[in-house]
Amino acid sequence: MSCDHLICAYCAGPVEEGRCPSCRAARGRLHHSHGPFTPQQLAIVAALVLILAFSLLAPHLA
């Protein structure tokens, strides 16, 4: 999501210009909130890797 077309409800200006504290806060959350993955996505990927590793190693352990 980007702030290109968002309008601030407080100052009625474009959020990307950051005219008021609300605009600047919203712009900061949108642009600097996360990297390419959210923490939930990273946890899901880690869990899937562990499940895959366990399923591949389980026959050799028994």
**What tokens appear for 40 in the block?**
């939930």
Question: What's the total number of domains in the chain?
Answer: 1
- Residue 36, pLDDT > 90, answer no
Cβ(38)–Cβ(47) under 8 Å?
A: no
Q: Which residue has the higher pLDDT, 51 or 37?
A: 51
**Confidence at residue 54, expressed as pLDDT on a 0 to 100 scale:** 93
- How many angstroms separate the CA atoms of 27 and 1, rounded? 11
The dihedrals phi and psi of 5, each to the nearest 5 degrees, come to -115, 10
- How many angstroms separate the CA atoms of 8 and 38, rounded? 25
Q: Give the count of beta carbons closer than 10 Å to the beta carbon of residue 29.
A: 12
**Confidence at residue 27, expressed as pLDDT on a 0 to 100 scale:** 81
Q: What is the mean pLDDT of the chain?
A: 83
Would 55 be classed as within a structural domain?
Answer: yes
- Residue 34, pLDDT > 60, answer no
Would 37 be classed as within a structural domain?
Answer: yes
- Residue 44, pLDDT > 90, answer yes
Would 20 be classed as within a structural domain?
Answer: yes
Domain that holds residue 44: 15-61
